[in-house]
Structure 1
Amino acid sequence: MTPTITLLPHALPTCPNARLVLFAMRRMGAHGLADARAAHAIFTDFGQSFRRPLVLMRALMSDLAHSAEGTIAIAPCCCARMTPAEAALITILARIETAPDSARFLMADLLGTRRVEGTLMSAAALAAAFADEGRPVVG
């Protein structure tokens, strides 16, 4: 039996905004883009300004699903640790504005392809939506 620390090697982010992204990503990845709990979590945190981050989160998840050459491993919502793919996505969102080359390389590794421009722009739009509301994602 493989230890959990091997399967989920990364600790949860300390940033509450990164935790919200992680929760929404896990819910939408497991239950579809229209998951009510993911929408409710974003609505609860953003209030009246929830539409932009919610739509962009859905767009990013759709782009990830369509662009990935392989499977992107996500853990269930109850897990207190992250998969390498989840950690990479949080890091991408945290770095997209300040270190775009680093974010691009991480996205290429995550998707398993060199053509990441569209998905990277979805990630940039989501990160900007969070930052514009005073909730930057910090990795």
Structure 2
Amino acid sequence: MSVPPSSVAERLSVLPHTLPACENARLVLFAIRRMGANCLADARAAHAMFTAFGERFRRPLMLVRALMADLATSAAGPISITHCCCSRMTHAERALMHVLARVELYPDNARVLLADLLGIRRVDGILASAAVVAAAFADEGRPITC
């Protein structure tokens, strides 16, 4: 069964970006999607983090939860995320992945991306949350890259 061209164009306009090549970025994206769609205590997100990090999963999991809470309470509008198993990303998801990948080396760039994503000017607290998530992943040998 073929899909009409207009449907393909519509999907590509809503989900214009492919998943990151980095396995660690895909892991944090999965956790973000699960927590965003269900709740911060999503069991599948916790299981994915446990599978990836083993016994040292608590720090990255709790920090991703804190980042999600910061994003949810600070955003001026909705942040577009898609289903956890989707093979493409929204603009917002891609921006968040770039923030996590750049926050340690290029904090000014990450600050601008985050401010655009959230629609607010003062993002230093949320940027700090993103930085500790990126550091937690890097400390466990799983740096987030895009």
The structure with the largest alpha-carbon Rg is 2
Q: Which residue of 2 aligns with 1:106?
A: 113
The runs of at least 4 aligned residues of structure 1 exceeding 6 Å deviation read: none
Q: Which residue of 2 aligns with 1:84?
A: 91
How far apart in 2 are the matches of 1:21 and 1:40?
A: 12
Partner amino acid for 1:102?
A: N
Q: Does 1:12 align with 2:19?
A: yes
Q: Does 1:60 align with 2:55?
A: no
Count of matched residue positions in the alignment of Structure 1 and Structure 2: 139
Q: Which runs of 5+ in 1 are unaligned?
A: none
Partner amino acid for 1:128?
A: A
How far apart in 2 are the matches of 1:37 and 1:4?
A: 26
Q: 3-state SS of the aligned residue for 2:113?
A: helix
1:83-129 Cα shifts (integer Å, max 9, x gaps)? 00000000000000111100000000010000101110000000000
Q: Does 1:137 align with 2:137?
A: no
How far apart in 2 are the matches of 1:80 and 1:5?
A: 11
1:70-91 Cα shifts (integer Å, max 9, x gaps)? 0000000121100000000000
Aligned-residue CA RMSD (Å): 0.8
Q: 1:15 Cα deviation (Å)?
A: 0.3
Q: Which residue of 2 aligns with 1:24?
A: 31
Q: 1:3 Cα deviation (Å)?
A: 1.5
How far apart in 2 are the matches of 1:84 and 1:29?
A: 15
Partner amino acid for 1:115?
A: R
How far apart in 2 are the matches of 1:14 and 1:137?
A: 10
How far apart in 1 are the matches of 2:34 and 2:54?
A: 19
Q: 3-state SS of the aligned residue for 1:89?
A: helix
User: Identity rate of aligned residues, in percent?
Assistant: 66
How far apart in 1 are the matches of 2:104 and 2:41?
A: 28
How far apart in 2 are the matches of 1:114 and 1:62?
A: 18
Q: Which runs of 5+ in 2 are unaligned?
A: 1-6
Q: 3-state SS of the aligned residue for 1:3?
A: helix
- TM-score, reference length from structure 2: 0.93
Q: Which residue among 110, 115, 122 is the counterpart of 2:122?
A: 115
Q: Which residue of 1 aligns with 2:45?
A: 38
Q: Does 1:51 align with 2:58?
A: yes
